[in-house]
Amino acid sequence: MLGSLVLVWIFICLLFLFIKIQRPKNFPPGPRPVPIFGNVFQLNISNPLKDFERIAERYGNVYSLYFGGRPAVILTGFKAVKEALVTKAADFSGRPQNVLVSHITEGKGIAFVDYGPYWKEQRRFALMSLRNFGLGKQSMEDRILGEIQHLVVCMDKSVGGFMNPDTLFHEAASNIIYLVLFGIRYEYGDETLKQYVTSFVESTKIANGFWGMIYDTFPALRGLPLPFRKAITHFDIVKNINANMVSKHKPSRVPGEPKNFVDCYLDELEKQKENDGSSFTEGQLVRTIMDLHAAGTDTTSNTLRTAFLYLITHPDIQEKCQREIDEALKGKAHASFEDRHDMPYTQAVIHESLRIAKTVPLSVPHCTTRDTELMGYSIPKDTLVFPNLASVLSEEGQWKFPHEFNPVNFLNDQGQFEKPEAFLPFSAGPRVCLGEGLARMELFLILVTLLRRFQFFWPEDAGEPDFTPVYGITLTPKPYRMGIRRRQAAKDM
Ligand code: HEM
């Protein structure tokens, strides 16, 4: 027994010593991978961002790593990311297929669907519907302002005390998406929503963690009852909740008079009934709902949590915003998105929050759609590509203050709002975030309304703030509490 173990051990050592993984000809360079595991031992899997920076310093802004046997290209800095996602958009806008995420989403929805006519048709339709063409009389802005009223009522209860904003921001962001999709919202703390969030979080945690990597790297293990199967079970729970919501919603709909995204989609489904090649199906609708809800909830709420973390630890910046907001909204009952043009400083603070939050640090993984070239390197079709957006958002030479929270990053010498080219929290090119417009409107209206009404502060007994976020497909600030007082301006309103 011992003898065979020693033999296996010797075999593994020889494998590591003599079998070299050969990078394809003229492929981007990178650290030497070991057989079976690739470069995973050279990365801190719980947060590889620092390792990605270190490797870029040695190998340049376009380098490669192996995840198991699968090569991936990492793009660092504005020039490399822009050249791939914008200049060579068609070559770099695919999504990896035959991986856990693409299997659990069954190739439907938008975010994980490969580049092609099916994805284009669904994305275009979703964009048009979200841009108000199908939201009936109640605009996107009205829906956001409506949800903010609930947020304010809830925060009012904490005046004079402290609160942890995590769940509240998450539920508000979730409700805004549901108001756009179905015209409904859940009460904060609702049980269905809790079950939804728990199952969704479990499913993504598995798909983006160690077991997701095992599934993607070793196809031979996929049939085994390993924890990656739980990702599928949890995903099915989320899918069933949304499918039930669609069924319940149908009787309230008046065909031809859409009031929300689901109405629009069902109208389109009827129009396309006779078209055999149509990509519109009820299954596709459910997946799109899931994509929009998933992509629009954590991202927006984590950005809000980051913004408030910096505002409560930088009271001078908070006060400057409040003075500007009071002046711009004098005599108005509430803010509107148009008011942003009168608030250059507040706009700069919101953009700086998006920059420092680096909410989706490595974007959503891309994939090459054909053999291509980038900055002198050859990259074959179907290569995994990670645009390191975090590196762009703190790249030296692109920002006046790349490593600190400073709204001056978005102000010119005259104090006017100005957006540098390297501002890519929503990525770029054909896959650029589909909800960018909605997210910007939400962030502006929520921040302005709350700052106008309340003063937020860091609790004296809370010790030093910890700004290091928790790594995941989205970066999440560590939980914190904030103190709340009602502002005099709000008492006078
Ligand atoms: C994709 C960021 C909010 C829907 C993305 C991507 C990023 C991103 C970096 C990947 C783009 C790429 O693949 O290159 C953000 C940030 C947000 C936010 C920072 C908030 C602060 C939203 C909202 C929605 C949404 C509110 C929903 C309405 C989507 C969808 C995709 C996407 C559907 C996939 C697009 C595609 O594959 O064609 N987002 N997002 N996002 N986002 Fe957002």
Q: Is 433 annotated as a binding residue?
A: yes
Nearest residue (CA) to ligand 1, atom 25: 435
Mean pLDDT by groups of 10 residues along the chain of 493 residues: 62 59 92 87 89 97 92 97 98 92 87 95 94 69 96 96 95 95 93 82 79 82 88 88 94 93 94 88 95 94 98 98 97 95 98 98 97 98 97 98 98 97 98 96 98 97 95 93 89 59
Nearest residue (CA) to ligand 1, atom 40: 433
Distance in Å, CA 428 to ligand 1 centroid: 10
pLDDT of residue 11: 61
User: Is 130 contained in some domain?
Assistant: yes
User: Is 191 contained in some domain?
Assistant: yes
Nearest in space to 262 (alpha carbons), one of 278, 242, 277: 242
- Provide the sign of the torsion angle of the four alpha carbons 282, 284, 290, 296, taken in this order: negative
Q: Is the CB of 348 under 6 A from ligand 1?
A: no
Mutation test residue for ligand 1: of 299, 354, 356, 386, the one with most atoms within 8 Å of CB = 299
To the nearest 5 percent, what fractions of the chain are helix, strand and coil?
A: 55, 10, 35
Distance in Å, CA 174 to ligand 1 centroid: 14
Nearest in space to 299 (alpha carbons), one of 111, 491, 48: 111
Q: Is the CB of 296 under 6 A from ligand 1?
A: yes
Give me the residue label for tokens 């339709």: 125
User: Is 195 contained in some domain?
Assistant: yes
Nearest in space to 292 (alpha carbons), one of 242, 233, 353, 229: 242
pLDDT of residue 9: 65
**ipTM (interface predicted TM):** 0.99
Q: Is the CB of 434 under 6 A from ligand 1?
A: yes
pLDDT of residue 192: 82
CATH code, domain with 191: 1.10.630.10
143: how many CB neighbours lie within 10 A of its CB? 23
Answer for the pair 466, 436: CB distance below 8 angstroms, yes or no: no
CA atoms of 460 and 484, how far apart (whole Å): 13
Give me the residue label for tokens 């009820």: 282
User: Is 131 contained in some domain?
Assistant: yes
Please enumerate, as own/partner, the contacts of 50-53 that have beta carbons within 8 Å and a separation of 24 or more.
52/76, 52/388, 52/391, 53/391
CA atoms of 348 and 416, how far apart (whole Å): 9
pLDDT of residue 99: 85
Q: Which two tokens stand for residue 325?
A: 């907001």
User: Is 44 contained in some domain?
Assistant: no
Nearest residue (CA) to ligand 1, atom 32: 433
Q: Is the CB of 122 under 6 A from ligand 1?
A: no
User: Is 474 contained in some domain?
Assistant: yes
- The tally of domains found in the chain comes to 1
What b-and-e string marks burial along 419-441, b requiring 16 or more CB atoms within 10 Å of the CB? eeebbbbbbbbebebbbebbbbb
User: Is 318 contained in some domain?
Assistant: yes
Nearest residue (CA) to ligand 1, atom 23: 296
Distance in Å, CA 112 to ligand 1 centroid: 11
Distance in Å, CA 202 to ligand 1 centroid: 20
Q: Which atom of ligand 1 is nearest to the CA of 176?
A: 26
Nearest in space to 470 (alpha carbons), one of 142, 109, 47: 47
Show the domain range for 109.
Answer: 49-491
pLDDT of residue 3: 64
Distance in Å, CA 370 to ligand 1 centroid: 24
Q: Is the CB of 360 under 6 A from ligand 1?
A: yes
Q: Give helix 140-156 / helix 436-453 axis angle, nearest 10°.
A: 40
Nearest residue (CA) to ligand 1, atom 30: 434
pLDDT of residue 213: 79
pLDDT of residue 120: 96
185: how many CB neighbours lie within 10 A of its CB? 20
User: Is 28 contained in some domain?
Assistant: no
Q: Is the CB of 258 under 6 A from ligand 1?
A: no
